[in-house]
């Protein structure tokens, strides 16, 4: 699995925003606080966290919609933020995004064909012949499971799941290597969600695309991701192979997150047994706790957690298959709930 | 492929091309009437003077201040002014002058104001600040005073009037366009366009202009009226349209002193202004609906039922 | 129509008393551009005090419209065209608007999904929470305020006395949802409807809110109708479930039994689509297609277009909700075939 240059490598990413001053007089919201990521070719990296943890900001930085304050993004060894002109345009072609909201991410005044073909209006050399464009749109529609006759319909004539398929077709129009999916199924109904997840998996098999798959839904991430990173208040607090993270979480937050998500057992009961019910809510990112970010809600926090920011505690293989958690008292050493 | 590719037939009505715009226009009686009125005004402005010859300037002191009647042929239909000139002929003559001032002025300020406004709103930051401060300066300066100064210094030609009226109205569009663009730039489909590498002007043209346009058009039609009236104030001060040229605004201004004795001189050009403006406004409202694919179907309904329909899409969505 | 098995008989200890809420043969029409469509068709269910019934279905299935017609908050384009809603012994559908408004709070009450939209942004929350007491009990402003603070304490808002002066936007999403719940339970209603109460919230907060609802239900002996699309939430928090599809009830019964052995292909399809149950790396067993538009619901079975079991009979005849076991019913011609799966 491990290869010399990963498709995407992110190190020490920091990003903060200026916002209105809060009561304590702070006006810098730290959305990303030293984020590292690594993604291999044809892989899916799951990114899990609650709202406000910075996962959407991370997606926007990966797509160059925001510029990070610090840290590097290396895509195939190249820093896209250093690119200009033609090279930048060539880079844009290789990384695309599927947005959460299939309603807001499609311009309601354009037809499906216009929407899917929109990237080619910038990348004119990709499909220069208008007749070929039409054929290519039909191909893409077919690829995502829509009909050729849908090409001239407007977004409001489609259901939510169909719109998300248009969004996926648009992302595929430039034949990217990497697609960042920001909660691609959270606005969809369950039966439709399964269709879209299958479509994404199928496209990965056929086209070899890699995904950064952002979601708050653990069961979805568990199903699609090869590796998982868990975010909390701008930091990645746990990272590792999916099964390992889900079966033997190192960080108490990961354990709590999995415990809080209601599960459904085959016998029709809710699984999970005893819940770890976190008290309180996410602290304000304007004023994050000192030391370990999670200590204000952690049931095993000690004095040390307030003063020292924990280093990653690792388990298992060498990178990239290493399972790491940032906790002074990782759970593998203490049973859950102790 | 797996079952994911299945797509039930008939869940949505068969795909259809949007109905032609003139068919939609036919369905909306108000908009159709408005379009006809505007068409007539345009036609009058273009062809009228050719048919009338010198009827608009021919004086006949015997016929002074005749009320509208059928007794004096076509030229007497709408009465005469103090010099015995046919009001109808003057209205027709003035239509051309009025439109040739108001339309270029509105168009100019619309195009320039919208372009700067969308550019400023889309980019934000310093560009936005500078554009907005300039707009504030123009707005805070009394436009009539500005016009008076400029037109006294330069000659009060049509081109200068157009220029000064346009300049004074640019901030209106600039502000509207900036607000729309600032809101639209945070929409996801604009982000999507940025991820393709689309540059700022194409993004503005493709995603911001079509959505901001109906609002800007509505502002423009309202402004049309304002510009016509401003032109009349200038004409009243003697620095606007110079006699023997005539505009509707000038006619209103000149007819004011006869309001009690000969109402038709001032009221009829006023009616012309109102009719034109109201028609333009109605048509703009129609354009707003007709250019929005999500709203367009409403136009296929009888007018009385439109308000009720909003919920439909939400229920079936 | 054949009588429905009462969901309450699922538990032998269920109170023999009247159900707190009994909906019978409720039908709702919506007047749309292309004519009138049936958004809710012949829906019946009942729920007793101290129990939770889940109305489960995807968007557009009519579950929210059912809830809104129960509390009388339908949009003007929608209209109840048949059936009854009995709460506190009376059919609320026959009451005048005024009489109905009197029931909102002490008898029936609802919690909405979007807490920010449901609260008045320009009034301190303490004042808003005190409102029901002033309207229904005629308390003074000061007394109502004390009651409001008490409520805030009950739903777990820290420092209620200080926070009563805050405005809705100063609370987090979870806290706002607590406020809405506080407002809904203020007058100790017999029946609490919760329309997607946790959909907008994070999982850790969702767990807290669901725990709060459960505690309140037990403490105040309320009947809870939980409207949701989330199977796992239903599995964990509801006793009985009514599954709706395209305006129709397709299956009903005790949650545990229905989820363990679904008797309607739609229920089974939903359960199979849960990623958790699927084998990793394999495609999820998805239900193909999407629900029919309400204007194009087929004359036979509403689910036929997406159903793996569909055959000729399904196109001709709409299956009735028929008993498939004690306290269970499903609307499928071939529900026996699912038992073997």
Spatial distance between the Cα atoms of C97 and C106, rounded to a whole number of angstroms = 16
What DSSP line would sit under C264-289, residue for residue?
SHHHHHHHHH-GGGSPTTSPP-PPPS
Cβ contact A198–C284 (<8 Å)? yes
Chain A interface test: which of B188, B193, B309 (most A C-beta within 10 Å): B188
What is the residue whose two structure tokens read 């939609």? B24
Question: H helices of chain B, where?
Answer: 21-27, 29-52, 87-123, 125-140, 143-153, 158-184, 188-195, 200-203, 209-236, 248-255, 263-290, 310-316
CATH of region A8-94+178-189+210-326 = 3.40.50.300
Nearest-Cα residue of chain B relative to residue C282: B2
Q: Are C42 and C24 in contact (CB under 8 A)?
A: no
Tell me the C-alpha distance between A331 and A238, whole Å: 12
CA–CA dist B157, C233 (Å, integer): 75
**Cα diameter, chain C:** 67
Q: How far is CA C292 from the centre of its chain?
A: 21
| Measured distance CA(C6)–CA(B309) in Å, rounded | 38
Half-sphere exposure (CA, 13 Å, Cβ side) for A132?
8
pLDDT band at A68 (very low <50, low <70, confident <90, very high): very high
Q: Give the C-alpha separation, A75 to A77, whole Å.
A: 5
What pLDDT does C40 receive? Answer: 93
Answer for the pair B156, B239: CB distance below 8 angstroms, yes or no: yes
User: Does residue B6 sit at the A interface (CB-CB below 8 Å)?
Assistant: yes
B292: nearest CA in chain A?
A109
SS3 C340: coil
pLDDT given at position A239: 92
Q: How confident is the model at residue B190 (pLDDT cuts 50, 70, 90)?
A: very high
CB atoms A189 and C229 under 8 Å: yes
Confirm or reject contact between B314 and chain A (CB < 8 A): no
Q: Which residues of A touch C233 (CB under 8 A)?
A: 262
Phi, psi of A179 (to 5 degrees): -120, 125
Q: Torsion-angle region of residue B96: left (phi > 0), alpha (psi -120 to 50) or beta?
A: alpha
Arithmetic mean of pLDDT, A144-169? 87
**Residue B148, number of CB atoms within 10 A of its CB:** 16
d(CA A226, CA C53): 38
pLDDT value for A227: 93
In the numeric block, the tokens 């969901």 are attached to C7
pLDDT of amino acid A241:
92
The values of phi and psi at residue C92, to 5°, are -65, -20
DSSP A292: S
- Given phi > 0 = left and psi -120 to 50 = alpha, else beta, which region is A223? alpha
Take residue B24 and report the two structure tokens written for it. Answer: 């939609």
Count, residues in chain B: 317
Q: What is the CA angle B266-B267-B271, rounded to 5?
A: 125
pLDDT band at A13 (very low <50, low <70, confident <90, very high): very high
Element (H, E) at C314: helix C312-316
Among candidates C39, C283, C305 on the partner chain, residue whose Cβ is nearest the Cβ of B2: C283
Residue with tokens 């010099």: B83
- What are A10's strand-pairing partners? A37, A73
Q: Which of C205, C269, C277 sits opposite A264 (nearest CB)?
A: C277
Burial label, C303 (beta-carbon count in 10 A; 0-12, 13-18, 19+): buried
pLDDT tops 90 at residue C118: no
- B14 to chain C, any CB pair closer than 8 A? The answer is no
Is there a contact between C203 and A50 if contact means CB atoms under 8 Å apart? yes
pLDDT digits (tens, 9 = 90+) for B96-127: 888 888 899 999 999 999 999 999 999 988 99
CA distance B225 to C285: 63
Here the tokens at position C328 are: 């269970």
Over residues A84-101, mean pLDDT: 90
User: Which of the four pLDDT bands, split at 50, 70 and 90, describes residue A270?
Assistant: low
Burial of A224 (0-12, 13-18, 19+ CB in 10 A): buried
Residue of C285, C302, C289 whose CA lies nearest to C341: C285
**Residue from B10, B305, B309, B312 whose CB has the most chain C CBs within 10 Å, to mutate:** B312
Whether residues B315 and C37 touch (CB distance < 8 A) is answered with yes
Phi-psi region of B201 (alpha: psi -120 to 50; beta: other; left: phi over 0): alpha
Q: At CA C276, angle to CA C272 and CA C282, rounded to 5? A: 70
CA atoms of A98 and B221, how far apart (whole Å): 40
Confidence of residue A167 (pLDDT cuts 50, 70, 90): very high
Instruction: Read off the pLDDT of residues C51-85 as tens digits, 9 standing for 90 and up.
Output: 999 999 988 888 989 999 998 888 888 889 999 99
Minimal C-alpha gap between A174 and chain B (Å)? 8
List Cα–Cα distances, C97 to C40, C73, C89, C101, in angstroms.
Answer: 21, 11, 17, 6
Model pTM above 0.90:
no
* pLDDT exceeds 60 at position A145: yes
ipTM of model: 0.83
A120-139 pLDDT, tens digit per residue, is: 988 888 888 888 889 999 98
Please give the average per-residue pLDDT across C133-153, as a whole number: 90
Q: Does B8 touch chain C (CB under 8 A)?
A: yes
Statement: residue A85 has pLDDT above 70? yes
Quote the tokens at residue A151.
Answer: 């090409």
C231-258 exposure pattern, b = at least 16 Cβ within 10 A, e = fewer: bbbbbbbbbbbbbbbbbbbbbbbbbbbb
Burial C148-183 (b: 16+ CB within 10 A, else e): bbebbebbbbeebeebbebebeebbbbbbbbbbbbb
Domain boundaries, chain A: 8-94+178-189+210-326, 103-175
For residues B183 and B19, the model is more confident at B183
C-alpha span between B98 and B249 (Å, rounded): 8
Count of H-run helices and E-run strands, chain C:
13, 12
Residue C312 has pLDDT above 80, yes or no: yes
Q: Do C77 and B312 touch (CB under 8 A)?
A: yes
Look over chain A and give the mean of its residue pLDDT values, rounded to a whole number: 85
Question: What is the predicted pLDDT for the residue at B301?
Answer: 61
C274/A264 Cβ within 8 A = yes
Mean pLDDT, to the nearest integer, of A281-299?
84
B206–A158 CB contact, under 8 Å: no
Averaged pLDDT of chain C: 86
| φ, ψ (nearest 5 deg) of residue B107 | -60, -45
Which residue of chain B is at minimal alpha-carbon distance from C76?
B308
Using 50, 70 and 90 to split pLDDT, how confident is the model at B154?
A: confident
**Radius of gyration, alpha carbons of chain B:** 24
Separation between Cα atoms, residue B192 and residue A98, nearest integer Å: 8
Non-local CB neighbours of A93 within 8 Å, separated by 6+ positions:
A119, A123, A126, A174, A175, A176, B197
- Residue B224 pLDDT level (bands cut at 50, 70, 90): confident
Pair A262, C232: CB distance under 8 Å: yes
Listing DSSP states for C35-83 in one string gives: EEEEEEEEEEEEE-TT-EEEEE--TTSSHHHHHHHHHT---TTEEEEEE
Q: What phi, psi does A230 have (nearest 5°)?
A: -105, 130
pLDDT bin (cut points 50, 70, 90) of residue A317 is low
Nearest to C77 among B7, B297, B308 (CB): B308
* pLDDT number for residue A316: 65
Q: Are B51 and B82 in contact (CB under 8 A)?
A: no
Q: A66: which residues sit within 8 A by CB, 6+ positions away? A: A15, A57, A60
Arithmetic mean of pLDDT, B157-182:
90
- For residue C204, give the DSSP letter: H
Write the DSSP string, B30-44.
Answer: HHHHHHHHHHHHHHH
pLDDT digits (tens, 9 = 90+) for C185-198: 888 899 999 998 88
Residue A204 predicted with pLDDT over 90:
yes
pLDDT greater than 80 at residue B74: no
Q: Which of B293, B286, B306, B254 is nearest to B38 (CA)?
A: B286
């Amino acid at each position: 699995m491990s290869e010399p240059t990963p498709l995407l490598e992110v190190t020490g990413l920091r990003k903060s925003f200026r916002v209105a001053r809060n009561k304590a007089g702070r006006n810098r919201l730290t959305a990303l606080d030293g984020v590292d990521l690594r993604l291999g070719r044809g892989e899916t990296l799951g990114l899990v966290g609650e709202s406000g943890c910075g996962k959407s900001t991370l997606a926007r930085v990966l797509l160059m919609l925001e510029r990070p304050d610090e840290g590097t993004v290396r895509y195939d060894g190249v820093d896209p933020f250093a690119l200009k002109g033609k090279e930048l345009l060539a880079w844009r072609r290789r990384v695309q995004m599927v947005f959460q909201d299939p309603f807001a991410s499609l311009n309601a005044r354009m037809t499906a064909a216009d929407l899917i073909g929109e990237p080619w209006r910038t990348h004119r050399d990709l499909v220069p012949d208008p007749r070929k464009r039409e054929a290519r749109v039909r191909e893409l529609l077919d690829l995502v499971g829509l009909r050729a006759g849908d090409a001239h319909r407007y977004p409001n004539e489609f259901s939510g799941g169909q719109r998300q398929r248009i969004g996926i077709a648009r992302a595929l129009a430039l034949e990217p290597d990497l697609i960042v999916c920001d909660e691609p199924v959270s606005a969809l109904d369950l039966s439709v969600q399964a269709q879209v997840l299958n479509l994404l998996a199928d496209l990965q098999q056929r086209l070899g695309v890699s995904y950064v798959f952002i979601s708050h839904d653990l069961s979805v991430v568990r199903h699609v991701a090869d590796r998982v990173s868990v975010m909390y208040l701008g930091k990645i607090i746990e990272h590792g192979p999916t099964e390992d993270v889900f079966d033997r979480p190192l960080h108490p937050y990961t354990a709590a997150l999995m415990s809080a998500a209601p599960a459904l057992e085959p016998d029709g009961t809710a699984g999970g047994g005893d819940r770890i019910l976190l008290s309180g809510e996410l602290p304000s990112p304007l004023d994050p706790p000192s030391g370990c970010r999670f200590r204000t809600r952690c049931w095993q926090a000690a004095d040390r957690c307030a003063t020292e920011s924990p280093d990653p505690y690792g388990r298992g293989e060498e990178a990239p298959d290493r399972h790491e958690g940032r906790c002074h008292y990782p759970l593998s050493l203490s049973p859950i709930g102790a | 492929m797996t079952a994911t590719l299945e797509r039930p037939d008939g869940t949505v009505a068969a795909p259809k091309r949007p109905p032609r715009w003139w068919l939609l226009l036919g369905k909306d009686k108000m908009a159709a009437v408005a379009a006809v009125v505007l068409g007539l005004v345009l036609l009058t402005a273009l062809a009228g003077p050719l048919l009338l010859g010198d009827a608009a300037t021919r004086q006949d002191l015997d016929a002074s201040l005749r009320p509208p009647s059928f007794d004096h042929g076509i030229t007497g239909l709408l009465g005469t002014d103090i010099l015995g000139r046919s009001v109808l002929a003057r209205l027709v003559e003035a239509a051309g002058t009025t439109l040739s001032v108001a339309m270029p002025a509105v168009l100019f300020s619309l195009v320039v104001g919208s372009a700067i406004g969308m550019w400023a709103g889309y980019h934000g930051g310093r560009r936005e600040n500078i554009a907005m401060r300039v707009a504030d300066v123009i707005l805070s300066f009394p436009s009539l005073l500005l016009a008076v100064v400029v037109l006294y210094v330069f000659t009060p030609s049509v081109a200068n009037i157009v220029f000064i009226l346009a300049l004074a109205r640019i901030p209106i569009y600039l502000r509207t366009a900036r607000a729309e663009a600032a809101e639209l730039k945070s929409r996801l489909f604009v982000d999507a366009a940025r991820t393709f590498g689309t540059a700022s002007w194409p993004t503005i043209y493709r995603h911001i202009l079509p959505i901001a346009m109906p609002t800007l058009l509505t502002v423009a039609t309202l402004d049309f009226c304002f510009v016509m009236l401003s032109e009349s104030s200038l004409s009243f001060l003697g620095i606007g349209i110079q006699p023997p040229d005539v505009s509707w605004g000038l006619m209103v201004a000149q007819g004011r002193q006869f309001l009690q004795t000969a109402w038709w001189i001032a009221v009829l050009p006023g009616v012309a202004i109102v009719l034109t403006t109201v028609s333009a406004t109605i048509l703009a409202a129609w354009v707003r609906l007709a250019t929005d694919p999500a709203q367009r179907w409403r136009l296929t309904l009888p007018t009385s039922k439109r308000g009720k329909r909003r919920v439909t899409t939400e229920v079936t969505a | 129509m054949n009588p429905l098995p009462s969901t309450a008989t699922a538990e032998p200890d269920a109170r023999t008393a009247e159900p707190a809420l009994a909906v019978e043969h409720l039908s709702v029409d919506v007047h749309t551009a292309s004519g009138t469509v049936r958004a809710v068709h012949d829906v019946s269910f009942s729920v007793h005090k101290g129990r939770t019934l889940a109305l489960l279905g995807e968007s557009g299935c009519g579950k929210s419209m059912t809830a809104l017609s129960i509390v009388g908050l339908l949009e003007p384009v929608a209209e109840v065209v048949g059936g009854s809603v009995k709460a506190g012994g009376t059919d609320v559908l026959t009451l005048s608007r005024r009489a109905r408004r009197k029931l909102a709070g002490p008898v029936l009450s609802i919690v909405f999904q979007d807490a920010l939209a449901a609260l008045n942004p320009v009034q301190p929350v303490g004042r808003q929470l005190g409102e029901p007491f002033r309207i229904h009990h005629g308390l003074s402003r000061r007394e109502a305020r004390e009651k409001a603070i008490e409520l805030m304490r009950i739903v777990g808002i820290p420092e209620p006395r200080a926070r009563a002066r805050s405005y809705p936007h100063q609370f987090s999403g979870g806290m706002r949802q607590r406020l809405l719940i506080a407002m809904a339970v203020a007058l100790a209603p017999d029946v609490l409807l919760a329309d997607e109460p946790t959909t907008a919230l994070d999982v850790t907060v969702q767990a807290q809110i669901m725990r709060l609802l459960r505690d309140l239900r037990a403490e105040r002996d309320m009947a809870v109708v939980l409207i949701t699309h989330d199977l796992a939430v239903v599995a964990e928090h509801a006793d009985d479930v009514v599954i709706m599809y395209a305006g129709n009830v397709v299956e009903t019964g005790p949650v545990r039994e229905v989820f363990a052995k679904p008797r309607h292909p739609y229920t089974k399809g939903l359960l199979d689509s849960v990623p958790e149950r699927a084998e990793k790396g394999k495609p999820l067993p998805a239900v193909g297609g999407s629900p029919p538009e309400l204007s194009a619901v087929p004359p036979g079975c509403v689910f036929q277009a997406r159903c793996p079991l569909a055959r000729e009979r399904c196109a001709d005849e709409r299956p009735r909700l028929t008993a498939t076991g004690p306290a269970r019913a499903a609307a499928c011609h071939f529900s026996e075939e699912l038992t073997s799966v």
